[in-house]
C-alpha cells in the first residue's frame, strides 16, 4: 500500500510540474523571455517593395536575421504589410500575439497605433521609425533628414543648367518639411540664382500623382527634381524616363530618397542605356533597424529613448552610386559635409529656419 501511495504521490508531482511548465509556456505568450530572439516589422501603406523607406527597413531586418542565423517566420524575423492605415493596429496586434520580442512600426503614420498598443501591452517592446512615442517600452528612431537633403541640394544646385529645380513631397507634414528645408538650403548655399518649386502629392503611395507633378515641373523648364514621397516618387522616375526615351539628349534628372535609387533611373533607348538618377539621399533606415535590434537582443533595449541618426552616425548621406555627379561637385559636397559635422553650418529643419538661413547668405 505504501508503494502505491508513493507512486501516486510521484504521479501527482509529475502532473503538478507539467501544470507549472504549461503555465510558464502561457507566460511566454504574454511576453516573457524566450530562448530565441525574434523580431518583426509592420510596413506603412508604401509597402515592402516601395523601393524606398519600407524596403530599406526590411533589408536591415533581413541582414540582422541572416547575421544571427535566424529564419524568416514567427520563430525568427518577419513582416506584415499594411494596405491602408486601418491595418496598422491589426498588424501590430498580430505580431504581439505571436510573441515577437521586438516589433517595429515603420513610418510616422503609425504613431497613433504604436502609442495605443504600447499602452495596452506595457511588457512588449516596440520601436517606431520617423516618429517619437514617449513610452518606456518604445524606442523612437529618428534621422537628420535635413542634413542629407542639404548635400543633395548642393549636387542639384551645381548640376542644374536651367537654374530651375523641383521638390516633390509626399504629405505636407513636419517630417517632409525637414527634407524640403534642408534641400532648399543646400541649393541656395551653392547657387543663389536657382529657384526651387515645391509641390506635395498628399500621399506616399500614388505614383500617378507623382508622375503628373513631375510632368508639369519638367514642362516648365525644371531639370532636376528631388522627391521625398515614398512610392509616389516612383511616378517621378517614370516621367523622367519617358521624357528621356523621347529625347535621349535631354539632360533631365531625379534625385532619389531613402535608399540608392540608381536602379530606378535606368532607361534603355535603342541599344544604349541611360540613367536619369542624379543621386539619392540615403536615409539608412536599414542601419538603424539593425542597430536597435542588435541592442535589444543584447539586453540593451533603448526603451523610452529617442535615437537620432545623422551625418556623424552614417545615418544619412549621399548614395554610393555617384556616376552622374562630376568629381569637382563631389569635392564641394564633402566640404559642406565636414562643415555640418563640425557644427559650422546649422541646416534648417523648417521653412522659417530656411528663411533665416537664406537671409544669412546675403
Partnered with residue 225 across adjacent β-strands are: 166, 254
In sequence order, the β-bridge partners of residue 282 are 258, 317
Set of cell numbers at residue 18: 507539467
- At 347 the three-state DSSP class reads coil
CA 154/CA 255 separation, integer angstroms = 12
pLDDT at position 34: 52
pLDDT value, residue 354: 98
Residue 154: its pLDDT value, please?
Answer: 98
Structure confidence at residue 133 as a pLDDT band (50, 70, 90): very high
Common-topology check for domains 39-143+286-309 and 145-282+326-361: yes
- Is residue 173 within 8 Å of 303, Cβ to Cβ? no
* Rounded distance between C-alpha atoms, residue 242 and residue 93, angstroms: 43
Enumerate the domain spans of the chain. Answer: 39-143+286-309, 145-282+326-361
For domain 39-143+286-309, the CATH architecture is 3-Layer(aba) Sandwich (3.40)
Residue that has been written with the C-alpha cell 540608392 in this structure: 260
Cα separation values, 58 from 48, 109, 284, Å: 7, 17, 11
Mean per-residue pLDDT, 89-117: 97
Structural contact between residues 52 and 258, judged by C-beta atoms closer than 8 angstroms: yes
Q: Which tens digits make up the pLDDT trace of 223-277?
A: 999 999 999 999 999 999 999 999 999 999 999 998 899 999 999 999 999 999 9
Which grid cell is 206?
A: 500614388
Residues 124 and 103 sit within 8 Å (Cβ to Cβ)? yes
Q: What is the pTM of this model?
A: 0.81
Return all residues near 28 (Cβ < 8 A) that are at least 6 apart. Answer: 34, 99
Q: Which residue has the cell 499602452?
A: 119
Q: Is the pLDDT of residue 203 over 70?
A: yes
Give CA–CA dist 101/296, Å, rounded: 9
With 0-12 / 13-18 / 19 or more C-beta atoms within 10 angstroms meaning exposed / middle / buried, residue 8 is: exposed
pLDDT band at 29 (very low <50, low <70, confident <90, very high): very low
pLDDT tier for residue 35 given thresholds of 50, 70 and 90: low
Neighbouring CB atoms inside 10 A of 25's CB total 10
C-alpha separations of 76 from 34, 132, 286, 294 in Å: 12, 26, 17, 14
Residue identified by cell 517614370 is: 238
189 contacts 220 by C-beta, under 8 angstroms: no
Domain 145-282+326-361 = CATH 2.30.30.90: no
Give the C-alpha distances (Å, rounded to integers) separating 150 from 43, 163, 345.
27, 17, 11
Amino acid at each position: 500500500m505504501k508503494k502505491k501511495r508513493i507512486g501516486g504521490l510521484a504521479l501527482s508531482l509529475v502532473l503538478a510540474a507539467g501544470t507549472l511548465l504549461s503555465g510558464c509556456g502561457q507566460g511566454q505568450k504574454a511576453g516573457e523571455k524566450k530562448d530565441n530572439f525574434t523580431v518583426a516589422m509592420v510596413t506603412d501603406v508604401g509597402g515592402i517593395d516601395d523601393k524606398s523607406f519600407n524596403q530599406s527597413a526590411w533589408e536591415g531586418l533581413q541582414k540582422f536575421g541572416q547575421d544571427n542565423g535566424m529564419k524568416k517566420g514567427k520563430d525568427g524575423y518577419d513582416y506584415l504589410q499594411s494596405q491602408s492605415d486601418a491595418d496598422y493596429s491589426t498588424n501590430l496586434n498580430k505580431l504581439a500575439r505571436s510573441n515577437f520580442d521586438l516589433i517595429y512600426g515603420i513610418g510616422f503614420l503609425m504613431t497613433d497605433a504604436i502609442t495605443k498598443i504600447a499602452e495596452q501591452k506595457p511588457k512588449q517592446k516596440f520601436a517606431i521609425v520617423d516618429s517619437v512615442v514617449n513610452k518606456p517600452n518604445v524606442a523612437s528612431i529618428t534621422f537628420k533628414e535635413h542634413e542629407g537633403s542639404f548635400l543633395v541640394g548642393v549636387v542639384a544646385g551645381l548640376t542644374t543648367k536651367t537654374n530651375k529645380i523641383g521638390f516633390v513631397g509626399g504629405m505636407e507634414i513636419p517630417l517632409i518639411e525637414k527634407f524640403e528645408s534642408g534641400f532648399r538650403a543646400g541649393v541656395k548655399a551653392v547657387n543663389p540664382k536657382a529657384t526651387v518649386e515645391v509641390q506635395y502629392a498628399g500621399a506616399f503611395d500614388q505614383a500617378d500623382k507623382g508622375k503628373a507633378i513631375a510632368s508639369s515641373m519638367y514642362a516648365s523648364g525644371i531639370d532636376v527634381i528631388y522627391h521625398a514621397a515614398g512610392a509616389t516618387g516612383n511616378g517621378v522616375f517614370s516621367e523622367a524616363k519617358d521624357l528621356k526615351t523621347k529625347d535621349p539628349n535631354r539632360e533631365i534628372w531625379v534625385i532619389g530618397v531613402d535608399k540608392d535609387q540608381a536602379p530606378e533611373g535606368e532607361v534603355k533607348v535603342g541599344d544604349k542605356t541611360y540613367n536619369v538618377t542624379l543621386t539619392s539621399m540615403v536615409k539608412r533606415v536599414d542601419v538603424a533597424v539593425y542597430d536597435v535590434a542588435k541592442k535589444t537582443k543584447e539586453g540593451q533595449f533603448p526603451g523610452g529613448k529617442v535615437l537620432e541618426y545623422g551625418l556623424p552616425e552614417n545615418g544619412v548621406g549621399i548614395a554610393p552610386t555617384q556616376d552622374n555627379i562630376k568629381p569637382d561637385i563631389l569635392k564641394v559636397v564633402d566640404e559642406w559635409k565636414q562643415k555640418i559635422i563640425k557644427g559650422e553650418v546649422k541646416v534648417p529643419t523648417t521653412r522659417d529656419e530656411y528663411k533665416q538661413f537664406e537671409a544669412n547668405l546675403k
